[in-house]
A and B are shown apart, each in its own frame.
Chain A
């Protein structure tokens, strides 16, 4: 009987769950890790990047993004668009070719793999014969020329990948056509480059590694000309008029050859080593583009003098008398030039360079060639990300102030709109303004517009200015000394070197209503900042919080406190620090919370926690949580000595396990089962050889870092009796203790004079002693208490103070609900006991129903150490849904996860990329964009190998769509 009833309830509940929850990984923000290939389609106005992990990413206008992943776990070495089509070909380093297309489906384009192909040589031929080294997509759009390591050129018809054996250009044919005297008939080596004549699609230039180049006529099936270069070939460029060929070589030289004439041998017009005299490195790529009036632009990558600047990553741009060597901070992957004009055949307008760690776009039409700020592919990791903080639904006022502060910082950027404009961004305008704040190792906090598909940089705050550090900010960026040769100019913002690791930002808390921000760092520093539109010169006074409170037997072996500048510091408009607390000992801050209504900041380290009144600039409370038997915490910063053995062991395990799981993926069909079993057996045998043991022992109070403060929380609740609610402070530690303090705030009119006081009220020791990772007070209706000032701004229902409040303590192992004011257990969910996973991250979120506008529920979003996401209901603490999200071996990914208030989240999939996911069925931010096939023009009239035919009808207004989103958001806000 009972069973039937429950069944009915469950199915109803299941339906609600479907309306509330849904898991999607929606978009990747940031810069792809380890990019390996770049290409641009002028006709589509799309940029494609391949990565070492086999991903391929396409970007057009802001918001237009596509991503694909090859099944093979191999690096993408080349990407080529088929001219005038929405197809592209990728070459992986396992020598396989893949055809991708953008297929429109329900009004939205999707990137799909539609074919794959591996070149097969004649039987018995060595693999080098078919090892592809150069790819040319012919302007006819249906031929692919594949140059190989063996020196052959294979012709393949696309999109079907049909080999056209009769058209192949074998090495023998080419060698026979060469004059007898050429180089004693030495091997020509591999095909380095394939180029189509821009004015005659029947002619293809084949450049061989040894240096010689041959112009092949496709119709006559014979060589019509050869170019007798003698240096190792690096790249070839056929000028737009078809008269000249430029070749760059491994000795740092480039040559210009006249190919228009009749003879079978081309004349060398010019040979130059631009950074000559001493031996130079290779020029790996050369491009020359004409301008309507005046001399052409010449772009060279590399070629630096080997001894003095061999370690620089440079692209030289030479135009008339102007010569600049753009000096990048990481290795150059590839570059291309965007051209003006309706057919994209006009003057070069922008140089786009993909370096290993960022994408840099140089405006070539503005004096000084300034950098254009990228709307996507932002280098999140220009200094390593140390923490992140997400704030949903930013009020317009704060948003505008942050934007204007950011605009003042970006004056050195070009005013030109983003030059890549392909595709239509169809995603709806973001429903609200969201901010993602990232803290970095160099002490900066970066503000990102996380409202939509593009993570757009808004503002950068540096906290280093408050402190005395050895390295003063170096202003030599964009400076070039007169007469320096080569004429270097530093570009790009990737700078992973931190001057002082103590500056690293560890915790951030922003109150979106008041604009107060608190930032805490590695050396126990806590800054309180307020938003100011004007620049201000002020001294930041430091207050020391002695967290030891006279605890005996303590030795701090870690770093020293940061020294504060005593003289006034000039702070630019934006967030300006006005108060500073420094913990003693200066251990890393592990928990931080700000209450802007009460004007209090609370902070915790591994030694204790403190409460600071930032109005009166004084400490209210300092509490030591140290356990005298905890030797590790006593000695200094997280010592790794003890755990190195364990971590080594774990990393070996991880490698082994990832191997197992990788292989498991391949076992799909029955035919492979046997093979897989055999492999598994081998692995199991290996496991038995090296067994990994785990000790089963109950946690004790002597474990390390039991006093580390994990969680701090402010709540206005019934702490001591059920008739009066008072402000309270809650602190949770690594050892499973919760400390509650009752706060007494003076009345508003006396707030500046009378002291704030804190009285200890309660202590809870969780019996299972697992670290406390979350504390939430639920109001009389079971909803989490609103944020400070949220109610005052009419943005939340005020907390119910009639019913009984409840305290939810989330440890790594359990969710426990206690009654208040008398703390007694009411409900619990033992996560670890039932499935062995532990809570790593937890957030409170509101889930709106996707079906009915007015229904929604609060819930906890939980990420476990197994990389699984759960939603836990409130106040009933029941597991609702579970989705695997992150590989459990990806420890840094799990640690970096941050949840939003609306059931979304971000985590780092590499040091430079955030994956955005959504657990909410209603609230999904994902790219929706359409790319149309460019209107076809007869290929014979096309002037260039990659034809710049008239593009699709839709033209873009200069304002980027990211801006449009923002403007819409602003309008919406005003209408409220």
Chain B
């Protein structure tokens, strides 16, 4: 409870506590929450505080999800101030030394293994290069992406929705309907599942990738044919933290046109039972990279599908008398519960602060504000107060 008290007190003061780290050095100062000023002022302030007036800096901050996000304009600066809760943690890097791959989603908590794997498996030249003018796509939190363009027929679209513990609802409805398939016997009418309604302001609508009357063909790689509406609903809800839907858009005019070499699959238009659309189709990143045309954004990481970062359960040890579990032993395990830190960014303090705050609330009564944190791995080996 004691840690929770700090939040309102800071809010009432209107001050944002800032902890800035450059190399091994820390600086602490505060900013006015309601008058944060402009980014260039802030940038100069940082250079002043760290006494590095002539060093080009890349400014990053840790948001509530533990992601390292950049601050490079007024908008994301204001956003950073507004979400600072209670401490705004900044990470400064020299521009020339900057490691851009550190930025982006889940960058602070993703197991190192997968980061390495991603680098080894996907020797994408873009990844290492500094950005030319504007921020990289990975500077933003993705809300959705089109994936597997290379293996899907042109008439189909595979959309990934990133829920990430956001408050925004997925925001769409599905219904029964009928669809026409081409079979050796000619056209055949078969039952199908369709998107029936979009919730205004929902995640699905915001992506622009799904629309009313799109036929749902697969949910996370599983074909929905011969499944009832209720089954498909349950499948989608069960996958809601990382939902991948393959649709046949009702409007076929916005399809991605491939410049040849797209594979035979592209010509089986209108045919829903495409052989390449199996679940395992994802786990072949090598081929995916090889055949992807350069102009298509490939920000889907195959390892994310397998990793369970969004599916981790919250475990609270409530036994004060129990022998504390030694951290050493837990570190040796290969269990995704243990917080993993990207070695060059020491975010241990952040994580622990988050963890203890989370534990302060009992499981049954997690407030909506705290719920966004549930996706993180948490472990508490001390006594915690429960309601």
Contact = CB atoms under 8 A, between A and B. Distances in A.
Among all A-B residue pairs, the 8 with the closest Cβ atoms? A836-B231, A824-B335, A832-B238, A698-B240, A684-B178, A720-B322, A694-B233, A765-B314
17 contacts: A626-B364, A692-B176, A696-B204, A696-B236, A696-B240, A698-B240, A721-B322, A742-B319, A763-B363, A766-B313, A767-B310, A833-B235, A833-B238, A835-B222, A835-B227, A836-B233, A836-B234
A697 B197 CA distance: 13
B189 A819 contact: no
A221 interface: no
A789 interface: no
A680 B178 CA distance: 10
A761 B319 contact: yes
A554 B356 CA distance: 30
Contact of A706 (B232, B364, B375): B364
A762 B237 contact: no
B279 to A, nearest CB: 8
Nearest to B310: A767
A826 B375 CA distance: 17
Which of A627, A695, A768: most chain B CB closer than 10 A?
A695
A72 to B, nearest CB: 27
A40 B384 CA distance: 74
Contacts of B204: 696
A838 interface: yes
B386 interface: yes
B231 to A, nearest CB: 3
Q: How large is the interface on B (under 10, 10 to 19, 20 to 34, 35 or more residues)?
A: 35 or more
Interface stretch (B55-63, B136-144, B165-173, B288-296): B165-173
Which of A721, A765, A813: most chain B CB closer than 10 A?
A765
A824 B319 CA distance: 16
A532 interface: no
A763 to B, nearest CB: 4
A419 interface: no
Contact of A701 (B197, B228, B366): B366
Contacts of A699: 237, 240
Contacts of B362: 763
Given A696-B170, A768-B241, A833-B222, 16 more contacts: A691-B175, A691-B177, A691-B196, A696-B172, A696-B240, A698-B169, A698-B241, A721-B322, A762-B315, A763-B316, A763-B363, A764-B313, A765-B313, A766-B313, A824-B315, A837-B231
Interface string A95-132: 00000000000000000000000000000000000000
A671 interface: no
A431 interface: no
A964 interface: no
A544 to B, nearest CB: 23
A711 to B, nearest CB: 16
Contacts of B375: 767
Contacts of A826: 335
A861 to B, nearest CB: 21
A524 interface: no
B355 interface: no
Interface string B239-281: 1110100000000000000000000000000000000000000
Interface string A665-694: 000000000000100110011011001111
Given A696-B236, A698-B241, A833-B238, A687 B176 contact: yes
Interface residues of A, number: 62
A628 interface: yes
A696 B318 contact: no
Contacts of A626: 364
B189 A681 contact: yes
B40 interface: no
A835 B314 CA distance: 25
Contacts of B311: 767-768
B175 A764 contact: no
A848 B220 CA distance: 36
Given A767-B375, A824-B337, A759 B321 contact: yes
B168 to A, nearest CB: 10
Given A693-B173, A767-B311, A822 B321 contact: no
Which of B188, B191, B196, B313: most chain A CB closer than 10 A?
B313
A146 to B, nearest CB: 44
B326 to A, nearest CB: 10
Interface in A834-888: 834-838, 865-866, 888
A693 B386 contact: no
B271 to A, nearest CB: 19
A184 B278 CA distance: 82
A684 B191 contact: yes
B102 to A, nearest CB: 26
Contacts of B189: 677, 680-681, 684
A974 B25 CA distance: 81
Contacts of B318: 760-763
A694 B231 contact: no
A665 to B, nearest CB: 16
B323 interface: yes
Contact of A833 (B169, B239, B336, B364): B239
Interface string B326-342: 00011001011110000
A767 B175 contact: no
